[in-house]
Amino acid sequence: MSTAVTTPQEASANSLIAGQLPKYTPWATLLVSLGIAAGLLNSVGHFSITAVALSGIALFLVGMFALSSAVEGIRKAKDRLARQMVSLFFLVALIPLISLIAGVAVRGSERLDGKFFSYSMRNIVGEGGGAIHAVYGTLIITGIATLVSVPIGMLSAIFLVEYGRNGRLARSITFFVDVMTGIPSIVAGLFAYTVFSILFGPGTKTGLAGAAALSVLMIPTVVRSTEEMLRLVSNDLRESAYALGVPKWRTVLKVVLPTSIAGIITGMILAIARVIGETAPLLVTAGLTSSLNTNPINGPMTTLPVFVYYSYVTPGIPQEPYYARAWAGALTLILIVMGLNLIGRLVAWRFAPKSR
Amino acid sequence: MKFNRLTAVLGLSCALAFSACAANEGGGAAAPSGEGGSSMSGRLQGTGASSQKVVQENWVAEFQTANPDVTITYSPEGSGAGREAFMGGGADFAGSDRAFTADENQPGAFGKCTADSIALDLPVYISPIAVIFNVDGVDSLKLNAETLAGIFKRDITRWDDAKIAALNPDAKLPSANITAVHRSDDSGTTENFTDYLHQVAGNVWDKAAGGEWAYPGGEAAKGTSGVVAAVTNGVNTIGYADASQTKDLKKVEIGEGDTFVGPSEEAAAQVVENSPQVPGRSEHDLALNLDRKAEGYPIVLVSYAIVCQSYKDAATAELVKSYVGYMASEQGQQVAMEKAGAAPLSAMLSEKVKAAIDSVA
Amino acid sequence: MSTTTQPSTGTAGGGSGDDHHEIIHSSKRFGERLFTQLTKGSGIGILVILAAVATFLVGLSIPALTADVKDLPYGNFWSYVAPFAFGTVWAAALAMVMAVPVSLGIALFISHYAPKRMAQTLGYIIDLLAAVPSVVFGLWGINTLAPAVRPLFLWLNENLGWIPLFSGAVSGTGRTVLTAAIVLAVMVLPIITAITREVFLQTPRLHEEASLALGATKWEMIRQAVIPFGMPGIISASMLGLGRALGETMAVAMVLSPDDVINFRVLTSQNPNTIASNIALSFPEAYGLGVNQLIATGLVLFIITLAVNMTARWVIARRSEFSGAN
């Protein structure tokens, strides 16, 4: 049984009975459509690159579909259209992606130096300083939140898929997990703040409270994605294990989880990425400080998003060093998630069964 | 063997965690003790207005440098949040863009104060609010309260409106729609701006001052930075924002008759100096009634530090006295002016604040 | 033809290997019981957390709902919350309309069209987008997106202004509900893409090859084998994305130019605000009953999410009756 993944071979389906367009047709059509669009728009007087690109692509899709359905038949034409639409969507999505990531990378790299990772902001105004306090804050708070949410979330997902059997408990958990995805982050923050105020006295601001708020936000994502991945594991696998006399819990741990580990880890990284950039709940629960604090149960702790937010929203004078630090902080955050992603993939690759 | 790489990664991150340190934080020993051995130590938590964030940052840095064993954190969650935290006992002092009302300021209402103590509202930060605009071909603009109110209420919707033209005979005003940008968030800046419009041009601006925008329509943006961004990136825009954050933008000169003033520190300080205290308050509770018709630049935000008259904890009281005392000191006000674009407290007001701080126990 | 077998979801997930298949040794039974209880306990733990959050929300909302209108800083609660409730659903709906098709397109591109090596890199890059903090999305929205889409808005307004959606005076800064929805769409894109991609990649090869062997074109194969197999996953992913879109705070607060209105115009400065964004905007200055009132709006958001999820569940349940799955 294969779990590894390859794209299926190109379907060179029924070229025997239908005609086939030569390979260069799409490119030629694209050029012609762009030309027509440019010409038309120019004559109307609305010429601009964006307008030409948009209408040119629309013309291309229509033209290609007509051409292909005439020569190759409607099924092939639909196939082509689907391929073009899918590629188009992908390209469309790349635009904001590149604009965002490039923007952050360019502006962020300016201050991404040694000092940024060795200085905090204690007693620093204006130039210089760094975000080591925020880096630690982010790692500690997100780390605790992950340690809490991932086991709870994964075990619950296992319960839902393997043990719950669509019983009343499982159904209500599934339902309420969906509801939980809708808790606004600020509400999660206020909740954690209130709970910690009751437990440890009013106005308690600690990293732990921040982690609690993040856990509330993180758990549903973990459950949802893990659940989805576990459901995808073929029953043949489970049954084979049972047939060999393996108890259910060992089947889950040794067969089901490793099979779906890649997807589960993707889900976890998503969950971490979802909360690592939170601002509002962390300000309420973990506060803001310019000094380094590595103790999650005593005193306020700054995280990178909070640092970025306040550096940008209320910069000192002159503003430039604050903006530079804000962008560097945002870039650092992305780099951290990138690193996590790499580690995650490594782990997934280590544990996933190799089939080919 | 399987776990080799994983343990290596974990080991590395642990090593990093144990050596957690910041190069600029050496604790008491490494930091230069400027005033020859301050004996103060401890932790102070302030919560409140985001308008004070910059100035607090500067004050905290200066104060901590002089007193290396003290750690002060100011959490800029907002005035309302700050007052709530102060009442609940979550903050040692609060920063707020408005004073507690007489109703709110009752003995026993505050978590960190003794049962018979009221809170003291001490004005420490005076910031002019600039009216900024971005109109092609127009470099300077003079407006009076009535016209400004008309623009923001959207009675005046075109830049070449006769009322604007009458005040600016020399400007080449474009024939274009005005995009007036206000704050989308509830803020002390909006409250002070609308208070000015209501006080001076009550016939146009007929709604009372408030932190939330009262009239429908217009463009809204979040925070000072949001308004600045919207005005900068937009076309034919006008907005209002804390003057310290608007240095690259063109600013409207405000006035009545034929005296118009730009948002300078001196002009802002002048208005505050000419404003009376709220009557009927305790001696050291220095809430101000800003008189927007007084001479000077009338659109001013006064932000308060709110402290207890007497603290439950003597050590906290000591720290608060010393830190808030520093804020009101000449040195502190100088820092606020240079680093946060604030207007300094007048000598008279400064004396009163000092007397009030001395009375804190 | 279209009823490609789907692995059983729900009931049969592991259930077909019934208990009597297990060989009974006392130690194994202990392990089994421990593990079962552990998983069940975690599930119940989630319910407890949610119950605590709900108690907190309801407890703090009650004062705002029962107080006299005169004492409420924001006036009558229901007329206060109505535009926000509308705006929340409206912005999220616009975002989902854009994000879901594009995400599916990307997921399919990565799983079935792009060459394998390229696909891995692309998947990785899209995942990165999930890491961008919402503050940065907000900044990108104001500084890059809003000025960039303004010409498009003007064009839409000029040429399609007769559609109520595009009518009204175009915003001078481009910071409209449509811009906010685009930002939201970009934010939920990686969430939906990442999960659907994994699901598509898990499609049994036998199904795919069976379809191709019967002469299906690639697109037909995808429609017959990949999409039906991935449907529950697509819906799950979309629900996660929707949850994010409904609850997103900072990015909307920074990008949107809100007003106290209910309308469907997407190009003007007068946009309905969302509940989460309004909380972020008003909370810092709120005091007394105002805090309770804002938390009560949070409760309304909670209920909206509940309703949306129930509807979605109901739709899936209806679908699965005829989908031939199981």
Give the DSSP per-residue string, C250-297.
HHHHHH--EES-----SSSS-EEPPHHHHHHHHGGG--THHHHHHHHH
Nearest to C106 among A90, A170, A269 (CB): A90
CA distance B213 to chain A (A): 20
Rg (CA), chain B: 23
CA distance B7 to chain C (A): 24
Q: pLDDT tens-digit profile of B27-80?
A: 443 334 344 445 788 888 899 888 898 899 889 989 988 888 888 988 888 888
Both C92 and C208 in one domain: the answer is yes
Nearest to C46 among A7, A152, A241 (CB): A152
Is a pLDDT exceeding 90 seen at residue A147? yes
Note the residue count of chain C.
326
Highest mean pLDDT among A251-255, A274-278, C246-250: A251-255
Average pLDDT value over all residues in chain C: 82
Nearest to B217 among C172, C259, C287 (CB): C259
Q: Which residue has the tokens 């949306």?
A: C308
Residues B42 and B335: their CA atoms lie apart, in Å, by: 23
- Verify whether the Cβ–Cβ distance B184 to C290 is below 8 Å: no
Q: How confident is the model at residue A234 (pLDDT cuts 50, 70, 90)?
A: confident
Is a pLDDT exceeding 70 seen at residue C5? no
Cα A94 to chain centroid, rounded: 15
Question: Which CATH number is C91's domain given?
Answer: 1.10.3720.10
Both C145 and C213 in one domain: the answer is yes
Is a pLDDT exceeding 80 seen at residue A4? no
Touching check for A250 and chain C: CB below 8 Å? yes
Is a pLDDT exceeding 60 seen at residue C17? no
A166 versus A330: the higher-pLDDT residue is: A330
pTM for the complete prediction?
A: 0.82
Both C143 and C250 in one domain: the answer is yes
Query: In C, which residues are within 8 Å of A185 by CB distance?
Result: 247, 249, 276
A14 versus C293: the higher-pLDDT residue is: C293
**What pLDDT shows up at residue A216?**
93
Nearest to B216 among C143, C260, C283 (CB): C260
Both C88 and C181 in one domain: the answer is yes
ipTM: 0.80
Question: Looking at C66, C83, C106, which one is the last position of a domain?
Answer: C66
Both C52 and C117 in one domain: the answer is no
Q: How confident is the model at residue A35 (pLDDT cuts 50, 70, 90)?
A: confident
Residue C191 lies in a domain: yes
Instruction: With beta carbons less than 8 A apart as the criterion, state whether A140 and A294 touch.
Output: yes
Both C35 and C100 in one domain: the answer is no
Q: Which residue has the tokens 């604009």?
A: A99
C254 versus C29: the higher-pLDDT residue is: C254
CA distance B201 to chain A (A): 31
Residue C326 lies in a domain: no
Is a pLDDT exceeding 50 seen at residue A133? yes
Residues A28 and A59: their CA atoms lie apart, in Å, by: 13
Which residues are paired to B252 by β-bridges? Answer: B141
**Helix axes of A207-231 and C177-201: crossing angle, nearest 10 degrees:** 50
Residue C324 lies in a domain: no
CA distance B186 to chain A (A): 15
Choose from B184, B231, B235, B236 for mutation: most chain C CBs within 10 A: B184
Both C35 and C180 in one domain: the answer is no
Q: Mean per-residue pLDDT for C112-132?
A: 79
Both C205 and C240 in one domain: the answer is yes
Is a pLDDT exceeding 80 seen at residue C56? yes
Touching check for A350 and chain B: CB below 8 Å? yes
Give A105: exposed, middle or buried? Use CB within 10 Å, 0-12, 13-18, 19+.
middle
Is a pLDDT exceeding 80 seen at residue B82? yes
Question: Looking at C25, C44, C66, which one is the last position of a domain?
Answer: C66
Total domain count for chain C? 2
Question: Looking at C37, C66, C95, which one is the last position of a domain?
Answer: C66
Query: In A, which residues are within 8 Å of C232 by CB distance?
Result: 228, 231
Which of A292-306, B28-42, B210-224, B332-346 is the least confident region? B28-42
Residue C325 lies in a domain: no
Percent of chain B at pLDDT > 90 equals 38
Interface of B with A (CB under 8 A): 2, 5-6, 9, 17, 20-25, 31, 43, 45, 47, 50, 53-54, 57-58, 60-61, 64-65, 71, 73-77, 85, 88-91, 111, 223-225, 244-245, 247, 339-341
Percent of chain C at pLDDT > 70 equals 88
CATH architecture of A132-351: Orthogonal Bundle (1.10)
Residue C279 lies in a domain: yes
Both C214 and C310 in one domain: the answer is yes
Touching check for A284 and chain B: CB below 8 Å? yes
Query: In B, which residues are within 8 Å of A115 by CB distance?
Result: 23
Both C19 and C78 in one domain: the answer is no
Residues of the domain holding C16: 1-66
Alpha helices of B183-329 — where are they, by DSSP H?
Answer: 188-200, 223-233, 265-273, 314-328
Nearest to B45 among A203, A283, A292 (CB): A203
Residues A290 and A287: their CA atoms lie apart, in Å, by: 10
Average pLDDT value over all residues in chain B: 85
> Structural domain boundaries of chain A?
8-108, 132-351
Nearest to C105 among A86, A238, A247 (CB): A86
**What pLDDT shows up at residue B26?**
60
Is a pLDDT exceeding 60 seen at residue B195? yes
A18 versus A86: the higher-pLDDT residue is: A86
Which residues are paired to B300 by β-bridges? Answer: B128
Is a pLDDT exceeding 90 seen at residue A341? no
State the DSSP code for B95: E
